[in-house]
Structure 1
Amino acid sequence: MDSEQRRRYQIAMVSTYSPDTSVLDHIVMPDGTEQSQGSDILTLLRTGKVFIVNSRKRNGLILYKRYHAEFAGPGAAVGGEYDCDCQSVLPIGNLSLLTAESYEERQKAYLIRRQWIRLIKQITENPVPQQRVQKILDQFEQYFPPETVAQIPDVTFALLVGVLPQTVGVVRRLGSELDSRFNY
């Protein structure tokens, strides 16, 4: 359903994260011009309009809320009143947002967003923090290339599954050694 009437936003993958800088390096608009500052997409989400993460691409958007983060994958709705409390964003892959043209499109996109939330919820129900981290890393590596997943900051995965960023770092470094220790 990628039509020319829809406004599309392309966002480049971020390679580094620092609390003192924006989480986006730049946004590439459809006409090829680049804009700096990650606040642009956040401003876009706060307009009250509902957008849909393009389901034809391997992309997604991590939405940083006050005490946690949410992942909106392909087909998921973002923006509107649901994300008015979003404090920052991190695009994954070459993000493409489409405008929701109809009520039916919005409903379907909200259902898909709910499925993404349920997937993360299932992961967070595991009482062992290291297992939660390994599971979220596995899920992301199944969908995105390993080099893309490697660029996602530890703090992001920590906020997604409710662990300390140091736990994510340990699991990333030790990986398979932890598998035998915690009997996955």
Structure 2
Amino acid sequence: MDSEKRRRYQTAMVSTYYPDTSFLDYIVMPDGAERSYGSDILKKLLSGKVFMVNSRKRNGLILFKQYHAEFAGPGAAVGGDYDRDCQGALPIGNLSLLPPETNEERQKAYLIRRQWIRLIKQITENPTPQQRVQKILDQFEQYFPPEVVALLPDEAFALLVGVLPQTVAVVRRLGSEVDNRFYY
């Protein structure tokens, strides 16, 4: 009986917070515009072919998986078997995807993708959610202009570093002055 109550409570929590349990349906840009995630980019990623994010441009791709997001920055491999579970993609900057021309180029792209994943992993190892948010925002502002970062939805950053979208909104609004005790 106890487990039945717990299961009912958990289901209610999920369905109350995200009625259709499809998180990507609820991502809205900071300016209020809705963003389409069923784009041609997603079709490319799910085609089974491997692409590289153009390393000669300031561009990247946030890849939405079932329970998290990954960032693929300049030079990183995307698509193929690696991203078969991708449910959405958010391009950053003027996205340019190129097919690798040689096996060496493909291997290098996979290594760069791992480096991007390690960078995000290091950020998620910060003990408090607001520190994780501040670090990811700082990193993105190093690679992209602040006005581009400001246009990215709170939900994207939340999925990248494992926090609630509300935490991202508060940190964006108040900066690093946020009181730690509210976000554990």
Pair 1:21–1:73, CA change in 2 (3 A): closer
Deviation at 1:103, TM superposition (A): 1.1
Instruction: Find out whether 1:112 has 2:119 as its counterpart.
Output: no
- How many angstroms does 1:100 deviate by? 1.1
- With structure 2 as the length reference, what TM-score do the two structures score? 0.78
Secondary structure class of the residue paired with 2:160: helix
| Superposed displacement of residue 143, structure 1 | 1.0
Partner of residue 51, structure 2 = 51
Q: Deviations over 1:107-155 (max 9, x none)?
A: 0000000000000000000110000000000000111000000000000
Report the counterpart of residue 102 of structure 1 in structure 2: 102
How many angstroms apart in 2 are the aligned matches of 1:55 and 1:21? 25
Question: In structure 2, the residue corresponding to 1:95 is in which secondary structure?
Answer: coil
Q: Which residue of 2 aligns with 1:30?
A: none
Letter of the 1:124 partner, please give it: T
The 5 A counterparts of 1:1-184 are 16=29, 21-23=35-37, 38-178=38-178, 181=179
**Does the CA-based 8 Å contact 2:73-2:116 persist in structure 1?**
yes
Q: 4+ runs of 1 displaced by more than 4 Å? A: 17-21
> TM-score, length-normalised on structure 1?
0.78
Match of 1:8 in 2: none
Match of 1:26 in 2: none
Distance, in Å, in 2 between the alignment partners of 1:57 and 1:41 is 17
Residue identity matched to 2:119: L
Flag the structure with higher strand content. 1
Structure 1 residues 67 and 19, CA gap change in structure 2 (3 angstroms)? farther
Equivalent pairs counted in the alignment come to 152
Matches of 1:84 and 1:60 in 2, distance apart? 18
- Taking the aligned partners of 2:89 and 2:40, their CA distance within structure 1 comes to 10
Amino acid at match of 1:22: S
SS at match of 1:57: coil
SS in 2 for 1:131: helix
Deviation at 1:19, TM superposition (A): 10
Cα distance in 2 between the residues matched to 1:109 and 1:68: 21
| Deviation, structure 1 residue 20 | 6.7
Stretches of structure 1 that go unaligned for 5 or more consecutive residues are 1-14, 24-37
Q: 1:131 & 1:111 partners in 2: Cα distance?
A: 27
CA-based RMSD of the aligned residues comes to 1.8
Look up the SS of the partner of 2:62 in the other structure: strand
C-alpha separation in 1, matches of 2:104 and 2:61:
22
Structure 1 position 89, deviation (Å): 0.2
Give the whole-Å Cα distance in 1 for the aligned partners of 2:144 and 2:33: 24
Q: Distance in 2 between matches of 1:56 and 1:47?
A: 24
Q: For residue 175 of structure 1, give the secondary structure of its aligned residue in structure 2.
A: helix
Return the letter of the residue paired with 2:163: V
Find the residue that maps to 2:157 and give its secondary structure: helix
Larger Rg: 2
In 2, the alpha carbon distance for the partners of 1:43 and 1:156 equals 20
